[in-house]
Amino acid sequence: MTGNGSGERLPPALRTEALEQLLTERGLVDPAAVDRLITQYETNVGPLNGAKVVARAWTDPEYRRRLLDDGTAAIGELGFGGLQTECLVVVENTPTTHNVVVCTLCSCYPWAVLGLPPSWYKDPAYRARMVREPRTVLSEMGLDLGDDVRITVRDSSSEVRWMVLPERPAGTEDMSEEQLVPLVTRDAMVGVAKVEAP
């Protein structure tokens, strides 16, 4: 679909809106069902849920311990779970150990706490190269780690999905759980970025 006959493509949002309108006009989709699905992924599934988990772990040492012992049960305490989190393992990044998640076979991913997987996560190059040369791939993604930091690549599968508990950034010690949530990104919970101080 082009925008003005010049061969330029319409922005994705406009193309999506046009497609939804066409499907609705033909009676193939119910706009209310589409709205419910969007709301589900905007509010009930996604990186915001994972950020709440991380912020709780940063501010509650007992919750952090439970999260690292049994990720599935711990996220369930906050009302998260379901499909693709039946066996969630959470690993912690420290100043000397860095975990990063990949799925070498497909794109297994804990949607309930991280939302939809980004396109790069599903890319065959990311999946293959992260295992072989994680330090290089992380650097290409903007995360440079010192040679003294040990990198462990965690391979998600249909049986086990991984999530990273990122390091809490310095200077946030006086921040509340609610203040910490917006700092946490999906990429930090996959391990391809660090959480930045405000």
Catalytic one among 6, 107, 119, 156?
A: 107
Within this chain, do residues 111 and 178 fall inside the same structural domain, yes or no?
yes
Catalytic one among 6, 103, 156, 176?
A: 103
Comparing C-alpha atoms, which of 46, 50, 164, 161 is closest to residue 108?
A: 161
Q: How far apart are CA 36 and CA 32, in angstroms?
A: 6
Q: Mark the binding-site residues, compressed into ranges.
A: 103, 106-108
Within this chain, do residues 85 and 160 fall inside the same structural domain, yes or no?
yes
Question: Is there a domain that residue 2 lies in?
Answer: no
Does 106 participate in catalysis according to the annotation?
A: yes
Question: Is there a domain that residue 7 lies in?
Answer: no
Q: How far apart are CA 24 and CA 55, in angstroms?
A: 40
| All residues at 6 or more sequence positions from 187 whose CB lies less than 8 Å from its CB, including other chains | 118, 141, 193
Q: How far apart are CA 114 and CA 165, in angstroms?
A: 12
Q: Which domain holds residue 87?
A: 47-190
Within this chain, do residues 33 and 120 fall inside the same structural domain, yes or no?
no
Token pair in block for residue 108: 């297994």
Within this chain, do residues 68 and 20 fall inside the same structural domain, yes or no?
no
Task: Give the model confidence (pLDDT) of 25-35 as tens digits.
Answer: 888 888 887 77
Task: Give the model confidence (pLDDT) of 103-161 as tens digits.
Answer: 998 878 888 889 888 889 999 999 999 999 999 999 999 999 999 999 999 999 988 99
Query: CATH no. for residue 120?
Result: 3.90.330.10
Question: Is there a domain that residue 98 lies in?
Answer: yes
Is this model's pTM higher than 0.75 or not? yes
Task: Give the model confidence (pLDDT) of 36-51 as tens digits.
Answer: 766 666 555 678 999 9
Question: Is there a domain that residue 185 lies in?
Answer: yes
AA letter at 130: M
Within this chain, do residues 32 and 53 fall inside the same structural domain, yes or no?
no
Which stretch of DSSP H or E encloses residue 25? helix 12-25
AA letter at 114: L
Within this chain, do residues 100 and 137 fall inside the same structural domain, yes or no?
yes
Within this chain, do residues 23 and 65 fall inside the same structural domain, yes or no?
no
Q: What is the rounded average pLDDT of the residues 64-84?
A: 92
- Cα dihedral 125→186→92→81 (10° resolution): -110
AA letter at 26: R
Comparing C-alpha atoms, which of 186, 31, 38, 178 is closest to residue 114?
A: 186
Within this chain, do residues 130 and 77 fall inside the same structural domain, yes or no?
yes
Q: What is the rounded average pLDDT of the residues 79-97?
A: 90
Domains contained in the chain, number:
2
Does 103 participate in catalysis according to the annotation?
A: yes
Please give the pLDDT value at position 34.
75
Within this chain, do residues 149 and 56 fall inside the same structural domain, yes or no?
yes
Does 107 participate in catalysis according to the annotation?
A: yes
Within this chain, do residues 35 and 52 fall inside the same structural domain, yes or no?
no
Within this chain, do residues 149 and 133 fall inside the same structural domain, yes or no?
yes
Task: Give the model confidence (pLDDT) of 159-186 as tens digits.
Answer: 899 999 999 999 999 999 999 999 999 9
Within this chain, do residues 108 and 29 fall inside the same structural domain, yes or no?
no
Please give the pLDDT value at position 192.
98
